[in-house]
Amino acid sequence: MKILSFDVSGDYSSIALLNSDEVNSFTQTHERKNRPNWDELFSKVGFDSKKDFNGLNAIAFARGPGSYTALRITASFLKAIAVVKKLPLIPISNLKAIAHEASNWINESEVIIFVTIKADQNECYFGSFKKTSKGIEIKEEESIMSMEDIYKIAKKKNVYFAGNGWPESINSNPKYLSNVLGGAEAIAILAKHELEVSEEFDPANANPVYLKTPEYQKK
């Protein structure tokens, strides 16, 4: 199975090429307002965009929550490619991808993982997940929370924490996995699991999830 995946939902651009059980990935950081250089990303994983799409089983991308503009541009770009190449397009939650990566660092078989992604100075995207023998399960619907609520959640016991939206005080918590950032590699692995269960991934239905209302819609 061969899957090309992307995560350009925040302050970085990430690409991964999964081939069977091997994953070649690349991530570069940049300001959120900057757009990904697609040709540069392709080259970093040895992918020839002129011919290699024909050898893929699917394309996957981080569908959010995250930067509105980056999510919209990425979804539109990949939808066009998926339609032309007649490929499944698999949207994967950024929060779930971080939870999946976090689970690889946890030796316990069943645990709760809280994940946050910073939305702005006052709010965070939040997801609650459970690591099980079958993989990552969603415990609660993804939401956007105030920092006041995030501070309260950060005091919870018997859970693991991951993501970049937590207050600095959490750095002293041994169950805070500060090295876990998510990215296209986790997106590719989760997409592989999805594709093994179903092949019904119509590009028309692969839409971004914002959670936070874009500023232009508030006016």
In this predicted model, what pLDDT tens digit does every residue of 95-151 receive, in sequence order?
A: 999 999 999 999 999 999 999 999 988 999 999 999 999 899 999 999 999 999 999
- How confident is the model over 11-60, as pLDDT tens digits? 788 999 999 989 999 998 866 666 678 899 999 999 999 999 999 999 99
pLDDT tens-digit map of 164-204? 999 999 999 999 999 998 899 999 999 999 999 987 899 99
pLDDT at 216: 42
Q: What is the Cα–Cα distance from 80 to 31, expressed in whole angstroms?
A: 26
What is the dotted CATH code of the domain comprising 94-172?
Answer: 3.30.420.200
The full DSSP string for the chain is: -EEEEEE-SSSEEEEEEEETTEEEEEEEE--TTSPP-HHHHHHHTT--TTTGGGG-SEEEEE--SS-HHHHHHHHHHHHHHHHHHT--EEEE-HHHHHHHHHHTT--SSSEEEEEEEE-SSSEEEEEEEEEETTEEEEEEEEEEEEHHHHHHHTT-SS-EEEES-S-GGGGG-TTB-TT----HHHHHHHHHHHHHH-----GGG------SPPHHHH-
203's torsion region: left (phi>0), alpha (psi -120 to 50) or beta? alpha
Q: Report percent pLDDT > 90 for the chain.
A: 76
Backbone angles phi, psi at 109, to 5 degrees: -80, -35
- Estimate the crossing angle of helix 184-197 against helix 94-103, to 10 degrees: 100
What pLDDT score does 105 carry?
96
pTM value is: 0.92
Q: What integer pLDDT is reported at residue 124 of this predicted model?
A: 95
Give the residue range(s) of CATH 3.30.420.200 domains in the chain. Answer: 94-172
Residue 70 has pLDDT above 60, yes or no: yes
Provide CATH 3.30.420.40 ranges for the chain: 2-93+182-218
Q: What pairing do the DSSP bridges indicate for beta strands 111-118 and 12-19?
A: unpaired
Q: Which CATH superfamily is domain 2-93+182-218 in?
A: ATPase, nucleotide binding domain (3.30.420.40)
